[in-house]
Structure 1
Amino acid sequence: MIFFEDIVVGSKSSFGRYEVTREEVLEFAQKYDPQPFHLDDEAAAQTHFGRISASGWHTCAMTMRMLVENMLANKQAGLGSPGIDEIRWLKPVYPGDTLRIETEVLSKRQSQSKPHMGSFRSQATIYNQDDAPVMSMVSNGLIRVRGD
């Protein structure tokens, strides 16, 4: 199990594989972000996207899936997150894209009020199959301290 003490500031990691399907892009958009360029080929063709693209919020959800799968595979003693400080959608994500993540730990600190818990900040960049960055974010994670 990976605890607070095991996190190294400056450490980098690369992981994940998420294949974006047209069906999922349409389903997410219909339910959560029904803008025409996420739902209609003709409407999307008239925009800077050029074709149907995934919602940025859908890209966040796909990213979350890869982050959690990695956390579970590495048996991280995660305790959730108090939030995201920054999200940037850098390039459209299209059906047929395959996404992956690269992360870097920016900082960490142990809680003074809850000594069984620590936090860390990390930068994540999400890339498509062409190694083009499509999204970046700075997030905060909570993690258990060893021994509690």
Structure 2
Amino acid sequence: MRTFAKGLAALALACSSAANAEGGYFGGTAGLMTIDRSNFDDPFNLGLRAGYTFASGWGFEGEYTNSIISGEADAFSGDIDVDIQTLAFYGTYRSHGNIYFKGRAGILHEDIDFFGDDTGISLGAGVGFNFGPNTNVELEYTLIEEDVNFWSGTMILSF
């Protein structure tokens, strides 16, 4: 019985450290950019993300997204395509465990075809799932600006 308990404790410790291992990562992200205005259809964005996480859970990441399916806005002269392109740099925190909380805050530059471009503060939160020592999936909400939100899923590969 003692051997079983020791083995179980060692396995739990190994899994915990694998979920919070220090190192770099990269991944792909996809999701819906929701625009909180009437007469708008939301674009669908695809992007790349790369970063580094320290053993404490703190880290940093960069992210680029671009619309692969344009949204539409009803205008006086007809429908106008709406594409959103973002480039952001964040400070991040991931809690410990195989299912974890993620928070991020940083600076983001956005270019929205219909509105123009802007740079400002961006905040996000989500939940992550550790599927192995090198593979995570994260589901997130990110505030792009006051009336634009990004609901995304990301697959991350660690190295």
TM-score relative to the length of structure 2: 0.35
Find the structure with the greater CA-based Rg: 2
Which structure ranks higher in relative contact order (CA pairs < 8 Å, sequence separation ≥ 6)?
1
Of Structure 1 and Structure 2, which has the larger fraction of its residues in helix?
A: 1
More strand by share: 2
